[in-house]
Amino acid sequence: MTLIVQKYGGTSVGTLERIRAVAERVSASRAQGNDVVVVVSAMAGETNRLLGLGKELSKRPSEREMDSLVATGEQVSAALLAIALSERGVPARSLVGHQTRIFTDGVYTKARIRTIDDAPFRSTINAGAVPVVAGFQGVDAEGNITTLGRGGSDTTGVAIAAALKADVCEIYTDVDGIFTTDPNICKEARKLDRITFEEMLELASLGAKVLQIRSVEIAMKYGIPIHLRSSFSDSQGTIVGAEDKSLESVVVTGVACDKNDVKVTMRELPDKPGIVARVFGSLADNNISVDMIIQTEPRGGKADLTFTVTHSDLARTKDVTERVAREIGAGEVKLHDDVAKVSIVGAGMRSHSGVAAKMFRMLADQKINIQAITTSEIRVSCLIDKKEADQAVRTLHNGFGLG
Amino acid sequence: MTLIVQKYGGTSVGTLERIRAVAERVSASRAQGNDVVVVVSAMAGETNRLLGLGKELSKRPSEREMDSLVATGEQVSAALLAIALSERGVPARSLVGHQTRIFTDGVYTKARIRTIDDAPFRSTINAGAVPVVAGFQGVDAEGNITTLGRGGSDTTGVAIAAALKADVCEIYTDVDGIFTTDPNICKEARKLDRITFEEMLELASLGAKVLQIRSVEIAMKYGIPIHLRSSFSDSQGTIVGAEDKSLESVVVTGVACDKNDVKVTMRELPDKPGIVARVFGSLADNNISVDMIIQTEPRGGKADLTFTVTHSDLARTKDVTERVAREIGAGEVKLHDDVAKVSIVGAGMRSHSGVAAKMFRMLADQKINIQAITTSEIRVSCLIDKKEADQAVRTLHNGFGLG
């Protein structure tokens, strides 16, 4: 018996008609002899509507309350899908956080899953019913409702697949798969049939927006293949899996572009040991992830520090850095969101040199200024002016022959 | 220290502006030195919107899923009010069913509360915060989400007040209190300053629609006064409390009218022992409450049976009665919803005779035909044609001098 976890995103359950279509797809998969566990996101637009209500009442609403507020979106779509399945003759039971016993840490709005009890799933399946899980949410040890951050339903799906040792986690969305770059920016973009976990991790973290990064980490850790595909067609999507040693790796698999970065510059930090650790320690204490870091050479005992954070952390970053700046006697703090991070990714970079230099040359030929660079084994990223981002993506996509 | 439970209905939290007004009211009550626990309904219209979604997917949606679906309405308003309170500087924490540990039986859509743990409320209050409870819901022993039926948030409020031995349960709504009859039907209707639990019970069960009947039962059992009042003004409402022995009771306190009854007629039942018990036993097994019952004299070994149920039980009543009719070899089953139940209520009826006769005379003078009659110690109800209901209410209200 094949066990499949199917996760449906917001557009896939965006209307009652779409929910009926999902019920049909689940029913068809069951008819093929598969055991199916379903995970759903909130109906498209619902999470933003709820966030909007909370933010209208308070500029800094309690994160605990915001989690309890937005978690209702998935609870609604899970109940509706369970009703639609029963209507098709497929017994189904919706499950929310405290019922699935998906226990998380207590970090509201971006909680991490600690444990999943497979019993509620097994007992539902053994009773002949389809568990329909409200994605994106869990409960902490005290029973508080937590959410896993934007796209967290992907993580719910993959984590459940790992806990149940499922054969595959199918992630249904409104695109046909992973593309070599964003087709909205570059019309030559091409769908990939396969991509490695590592490549996907780099792409996800770089703003390809297709899969939540943590879901890929969990899939890689537990060896669960992800089949990313469209719920609007029957065509095959992209398999995200382990590296296929028999094939020579492509040097560059894709080009990613992330426009959600904010560049933070702290002026005139005292050039003393421990100052930088103090800054990043305070950010870490507030669960703010820092990406690119540039530190200038100190002059006259003072140095400038520049780094990037994601846009959703902007308000808290401003608070934390201004407070730390006062405490350590640094100068002003400036935040700029007119930047973009353009990246090339490919497992083949491990065995090929000169890829980064080629990238810098291409951007220089277009007179695009590079403000910062970061690299990993299989990725090179450049921070550039946001206005030049689309041009850079097209240049790199064509330059590396991805069309 | 006075402990007040405040329950706010759907119109009282119907918009963000209204939620802010509620936060102000809670804040003011705290400023007067009271400890406050708040219970909220879903924002006006939300429960119907959610029910509509479920019913569009299935004519007979799973009740378990419908409960999980509609329970989100209160979860949303509780989180929003907690955010609004925090924004005003009043610490607050929203609590949903599994967090309040309001345990119910497993009868979906009309569950009954079994136990309430006061610890989550006490610990929140002791931490200086206002517990903001999602009304209308609980969890059963297996952690399934249950709801308490229409108006169930009243019951949540009073049950919490009883568990915490609160001084009063204030129930905020969009009317100024309890009236001698529905002001929409009879413009001479007058607000009552006080009403006894018993009278209120009769009025609530008769469709006065102001308070859920179970909330009054619980309030009476535990001696918790209810102050029913408007959240749109500061005026005093109606106190529902124990009978005041020092005052002579008014003979008739109010006139109620319920248009949600359905009259069920089962034809040609075999006139044998156990047949009627079989019918009502099957209805009870399906959690269908029967109100008025009329049995005709048997003729030729067959008798007709007529009774009333509430409109929300119509579909299930049809199923059950038709099945039972087949099994016992009875004739056809007919359901009519063109009836209304008009009642007079008053604690003074206990010591006054002739009140019922006076009522029948008044209706007869208006040529209103009485189809069935039921009485209690402090109430007389007549089933009449729905078209004549408003006329009957006005006649009785004036006839008993309530204007």
Looking at beta carbons, which residues of chain A come within 8 Å of B139?
98
A-chain residue closest to B93, CA distance:
A65
Give the C-alpha separation, B374 to A195, whole Å: 75
The pLDDT-based confidence of A126 (bands split at 50, 70, 90) is very high
What is this model's ipTM?
0.79
Asked if A83 and B75 come within 8 Å (Cβ–Cβ), the reply is no
Looking at beta carbons, which residues of chain B come within 8 Å of A86?
58, 61-62, 65
A118: amino acid identity, one letter:
D
- Give me the residue from A62, A65, A83 closest to B57, CB to CB: A83
How close does chain B come to A222, measured CA to CA in Å? Answer: 29
Interface residue B53 vs chain A (CB under 8 A) = yes
Structure tokens that stand for A296 in this block: 């200038």
How close does chain A come to B5, measured CA to CA in Å? Answer: 21
Give the C-alpha separation, B12 to B229, whole Å: 11
- HSE-CB at A61 with a 13 A cutoff on CA atoms is 27
Q: Could you tell me which residue, B294 or B160, shows the higher pLDDT?
A: B160
The pLDDT-based confidence of A15 (bands split at 50, 70, 90) is very high
Structure confidence by residue, pLDDT tens digits, A136-154:
999 999 999 999 988 899 9
- Give the burial class of A109: count Cβ atoms within 10 A of its Cβ; 0-12 exposed, 13-18 middle, 19 or more buried: middle
The pLDDT-based confidence of B246 (bands split at 50, 70, 90) is low
B-chain residue closest to A76, CA distance:
B69
Structure confidence by residue, pLDDT tens digits, A75-114:
999 999 999 999 999 999 999 999 999 999 999 999 999 9
- Give the burial class of A200: count Cβ atoms within 10 A of its Cβ; 0-12 exposed, 13-18 middle, 19 or more buried: buried
- Give me the residue from B57, B80, B98 closest to A53, CB to CB: B80
Give the C-alpha separation, B302 to B291, whole Å: 23
Structure tokens that stand for A403 in this block: 């069309």
Q: Percentage of chain B with pLDDT > 70?
A: 98
Question: Which has the minimum average pLDDT: A261-270, A290-299, B191-200?
Answer: A290-299
Interface residue A54 vs chain B (CB under 8 A) = yes
Asked if B16 and A72 come within 8 Å (Cβ–Cβ), the reply is no
Examine the pLDDT at A247 and tell me if it is beyond 60.
no
Looking at beta carbons, which residues of chain A come within 8 Å of B13?
none
Interface residue B109 vs chain A (CB under 8 A) = no
Q: What is the mean pLDDT of residues A123-134?
A: 97
Interface residue A53 vs chain B (CB under 8 A) = yes
Structure confidence by residue, pLDDT tens digits, A358-394:
999 999 999 999 988 888 889 999 999 999 999 999 9
CA distances from B385 to A368, B267, B313 (A): 82, 21, 20
The pLDDT-based confidence of A57 (bands split at 50, 70, 90) is very high
Give the C-alpha separation, B395 to B342, whole Å: 11
Q: Is A357 helix (H, G, I), strand (E, B) or coil?
A: helix
Asked if B87 and A16 come within 8 Å (Cβ–Cβ), the reply is no
Phi, psi of B362 (to 5 degrees): -60, -40
Examine the pLDDT at B247 and tell me if it is beyond 70.
no
Interface residue A40 vs chain B (CB under 8 A) = no
Structure confidence by residue, pLDDT tens digits, B277-334:
899 999 999 989 898 888 777 888 888 899 999 998 999 999 999 999 999 999 999 9
Phi, psi of B242 (to 5 degrees): -70, 160
Q: What is the mean pLDDT of residues A63-85?
A: 98
Q: Average pLDDT, whole number, for chain A?
A: 93
Looking at beta carbons, which residues of chain A come within 8 Å of B53?
16, 76, 80
Give the C-alpha separation, B340 to A378, whole Å: 76
- Give me the residue from B20, B65, B80 closest to A69, CB to CB: B80
Asked if B75 and A72 come within 8 Å (Cβ–Cβ), the reply is yes
Asked if B19 and A57 come within 8 Å (Cβ–Cβ), the reply is yes
- Interacting residues of B102 by C-beta distance below 8 A, sequence separation 6+: B113, B115, B116, B137, B138, B139, B156, B159, B160
Examine the pLDDT at A3 and tell me if it is beyond 70.
yes
What does the pLDDT read at residue A249?
64
Interface residue B124 vs chain A (CB under 8 A) = no
- Give the burial class of A262: count Cβ atoms within 10 A of its Cβ; 0-12 exposed, 13-18 middle, 19 or more buried: buried
Interface residue A51 vs chain B (CB under 8 A) = no
Looking at beta carbons, which residues of chain B come within 8 Å of A87?
57-58, 61
Instruction: Determine which of B13, B20, B69, B90 to mutate to test the interface with A (most A C-beta atoms within 10 Å).
Output: B69
Asked if B66 and A79 come within 8 Å (Cβ–Cβ), the reply is yes
How close does chain B come to A262, measured CA to CA in Å? Answer: 27
Looking at beta carbons, which residues of chain A come within 8 Å of B66?
79, 83
Asked if B68 and A79 come within 8 Å (Cβ–Cβ), the reply is yes
Give the C-alpha separation, B84 to A57, whole Å: 6
How close does chain A come to B72, measured CA to CA in Å? Answer: 5
Question: Which has the minimum average pLDDT: A258-267, A365-374, B167-176, B296-305?
Answer: B296-305
Interface residue A99 vs chain B (CB under 8 A) = yes
What does the pLDDT read at residue B392?
96
Residue-wise burial string across A348-383, b where 16 or more C-beta atoms lie within 10 A, e elsewhere = ebeeeeebbebbeebbeeeebebbbebeeebbbbbb
A3-174: in CATH 1.10.10.10: no
Tokens 């517990």 found at: B131
What does the pLDDT read at residue A186?
92
User: Are the C-beta atoms of A157 and A5 separated by less than 8 Å?
Assistant: yes
- Give me the residue from B58, B75, B83 closest to A54, CB to CB: B83
Give the DSSP letter of residue B191.
Answer: B
- Give me the residue from B50, B76, B143 closest to A99, CB to CB: B143
- Give me the residue from B62, B82, B144 closest to A65, CB to CB: B82
Looking at beta carbons, which residues of chain B come within 8 Å of A93?
64-65
Looking at beta carbons, which residues of chain B come within 8 Å of A49?
none
Question: A 134-163 residues with CB below 8 A of B?
Answer: 139, 143-145
Looking at beta carbons, which residues of chain A come within 8 Å of B83?
54, 57-58, 61-62, 65-66, 69
Structure confidence by residue, pLDDT tens digits, A166-210:
999 999 998 899 999 988 899 999 999 999 999 998 887 776 778
Asked if B99 and A56 come within 8 Å (Cβ–Cβ), the reply is no
What does the pLDDT read at residue B47?
96
- Give me the residue from B62, B79, B143 closest to A69, CB to CB: B79
Interface residue B265 vs chain A (CB under 8 A) = no
A-chain residue closest to B61, CA distance:
A83
Give the DSSP letter of residue A135.
Answer: T
How close does chain A come to B28, measured CA to CA in Å? Answer: 18
Interface residue B63 vs chain A (CB under 8 A) = no
What does the pLDDT read at residue B301?
85
Structure tokens that stand for A253 in this block: 């698999």
Instruction: Determine which of B26, B27, B58, B83 to mutate to test the interface with A (most A C-beta atoms within 10 Å).
Output: B83
Asked if B84 and A58 come within 8 Å (Cβ–Cβ), the reply is yes
